[in-house]
Amino acid sequence: MGETLLSIGEALALVLGRVQPLPAEDVPLAQAAGRVLAEDARATVDLPPFPASAMDGYAVRSADLPGPLTIVDRSAAGRPASRTLTGGEAIEISTGAVVPDGADTVVPIEHIRESDGTVEGDPTAAGQNVRPRGGDLMEGATVITAGTRLGAAHIGALAAAGIASVRCGRAPRVAVAVTGTELRAPGDPLARGEIYDANGSILETQLRSAGAVVERLPPTEDDAAATRATIERGLYADVLLTTGGVSVGVHDLVRAAEAELGVEEIFWRVSMRPGKPIAFGVRGATLVFGLPGNPVSTLVAFELFVRPALLALQGVAAPAPPFLPGVLGRPTRQVERDSLLRARLRVDGDAVVLDPLVGQESHMIAQTATADTLVLIPSGSGELPAGSAVRYLTL
Ligand code: AMP
Ligand code: MG
């Protein structure tokens, strides 16, 4: 046909170019998992806040070793010794307790011989087994930088640094509409010609994992007025996702309805397989994705375009899909478009090996459910031999 379709990279750049990050709001730390930091978060204390022992043992002056030294006090976590240490003395200490003033080292219990209120210890250099005040981070320093999506270690670092709430990009509101007269809800009886709606469930799951607040719109028949009404209802959202009805058939009504409602189409169709008929447009600040009807196409198009858009809306610094390097486990034919094959990952020695599944058709959601990765096979007319370097995305 000679038509030149956008590449995946070009299409993604067009999507990200239309993203206006959502305003920031205060989020209590307990609700901040998965949210994206809008400003650098700074430590309210030195970390650790005091010189702390890394071992159970005795705090001493290194110059006094091996002793014998008189045990004069104890320092436990949360219960510091009541006195400072002077020459010839030892203070029993536990992990995480304050190293008393006057002591410069901690001799671990394994290197101590105790008798009668005194200890002898093996030679231990100054500073050994002592976690210096501020050794992890200084007060006022950045704990986590803006643009970070918060996981367990981030939340833990913020808590350790005394931060009770953080500024985060607002969670995107996303409306989801599946279109197709043939669709029924799982659990309902199926008449001849009908199928269960998989896309609504796929998208809701992906959206939650991307930090979105989801509204499912009522399933919509292939009827122009109904399609228009549903899309109109969803245009309040930050992002509107439709599935189905974006191909070239007479029942593909989504793009026409969007045009009537003032959605500016940015692109339609991308050189990819599956997912080629994807449409993307904007109305005001609302991003409008017309995802293809086949469930695997919807799932793949979400990962390539919608998830990055959602992350960018929340302020993620690097929202593009995180493709990683691996090698093909078996020979794989190229096609005229970049294809994203469903595959299973295995580790062989030092290599990450990707085995494309046998059932690669875009309606095969059940086959896809056995995959853990998408392998990007660049367009071409040859066959990539086993061992070829490829890039993959974890599902
Ligand atoms: P369409 O793009 O509307 O022509 O849909 C392409 C294919 O995907 C058709 O076989 C549809 O029946 C199927 N399909 C569309 N929407 C869904 C859905 N929500 N769940 C499962 N399959 C769907
Ligand atoms: Mg349809």
Say if 318 falls within a structural domain.
Answer: no
Say how many residues make up the chain: 395
Say if 217 falls within a structural domain.
Answer: yes
Q: What is the CATH number of the domain that holds 34?
A: 3.90.105.10
Q: Tell which atom from ligand 1 comes closest to the C-alpha of 247.
A: 2
Indicate whether 76 and 107 sit together in one domain: yes
Which ligand minimizes its atom distance to the CA of 298? 1
Indicate whether 41 and 77 sit together in one domain: no
Which ligand minimizes its atom distance to the CA of 297? 1
Say if 39 falls within a structural domain.
Answer: yes
Q: What is the CATH number of the domain that holds 366?
A: 2.40.340.10
Indicate whether 234 and 307 sit together in one domain: yes
Out of 131, 157, 188, pick the residue that ends a domain. 131
State how far the Cα of 82 lies from the Cα of 16, in Å rounded to an integer: 59
The burial class, CB within 10 Å (0-12 / 13-18 / 19+), for 78 is: exposed
- Please give the span between the terminal C-alpha atoms of the chain, in angstroms, as a whole number: 33
β-strand partners of 112: 121
Question: Is-contact 134 46, C-beta < 8 A?
Answer: yes
What pLDDT sits at residue 1? 47
Q: Which residue segment(s) compose the domain that 30 sits in?
A: 26-46+144-169
222 lines ligand 1 (CB under 6 A): no
- What DSSP element (H or E) covers 276? none
Say if 58 falls within a structural domain.
Answer: yes
Say if 138 falls within a structural domain.
Answer: no
DSSP summary character for residue 229? H
Residues with CB in 5 Å of ion ligand 2: 180, 244-245, 293
Residue whose token pair is 């670092």: 157
Indicate whether 150 and 37 sit together in one domain: yes
Q: What is the CATH number of the domain that holds 252?
A: 3.40.980.10
Q: Please report the DSSP string for 74-95 in residue order.
A: EEBTTB--SS---TTEEEEE-T
Say if 148 falls within a structural domain.
Answer: yes
Number of domains in the chain: 4
Which ligand minimizes its atom distance to the CA of 203? 1
Rg (CA), the chain: 30
Indicate whether 158 and 179 sit together in one domain: no
Reduced DSSP (H G I as helix, E B as strand, rest coil) percent helix, strand, coil of the chain, to 5: 20, 35, 45
Q: 18 CA distance to ligand 1 centroid (A)?
A: 27
Indicate whether 257 and 374 sit together in one domain: no
314 lines ligand 1 (CB under 6 A): no
What pLDDT sits at residue 250? 85
Closest alpha carbon to 324 in 385, 227, 392, 262: 392
195 lines ligand 1 (CB under 6 A): yes
Which ligand minimizes its atom distance to the CA of 195? 1
Indicate whether 278 and 205 sit together in one domain: yes
Indicate whether 186 and 272 sit together in one domain: yes
Q: 106 CA distance to ligand 1 centroid (A)?
A: 68
Indicate whether 159 and 220 sit together in one domain: no
Indicate whether 178 and 279 sit together in one domain: yes
- Please report how the helices 307-314 and 8-17 are oriented relative to each other, as an axis angle in degrees rounded to 10: 30
Say if 165 falls within a structural domain.
Answer: yes
Indicate whether 291 and 361 sit together in one domain: no
Angle, CA of 17, 19 and 230, to the nearest 5°: 120
Out of 313, 332, 362, pick the residue that ends a domain. 313
Q: 54 CA distance to ligand 1 centroid (A)?
A: 60
Prediction pTM value: 0.93
Say if 137 falls within a structural domain.
Answer: no
Q: Tell which atom from ligand 1 comes closest to the C-alpha of 222.
A: 3
What pLDDT sits at residue 251? 84
Indicate whether 366 and 289 sit together in one domain: no
Q: 178 CA distance to ligand 1 centroid (A)?
A: 9
254 lines ligand 1 (CB under 6 A): no
State how far the Cα of 316 lies from the Cα of 319, in Å rounded to an integer: 6
Question: Is-contact 19 115, C-beta < 8 A?
Answer: no
pLDDT in tens, the chain (395 residues): 456 899 999 999 999 999 999 999 999 999 999 999 999 999 999 999 999 999 999 999 999 999 899 999 999 999 999 999 999 999 999 999 999 999 999 999 999 999 999 999 999 999 999 999 999 999 999 999 999 999 999 999 999 999 999 999 999 999 999 999 999 999 999 999 999 999 999 999 999 999 999 999 999 999 999 999 999 999 999 999 999 999 988 888 999 999 999 999 999 999 999 999 999 999 999 999 999 999 999 999 999 999 999 999 999 989 999 999 999 999 999 999 999 999 999 999 999 999 999 888 989 999 999 999 999 999 999 999 999 999 999 99
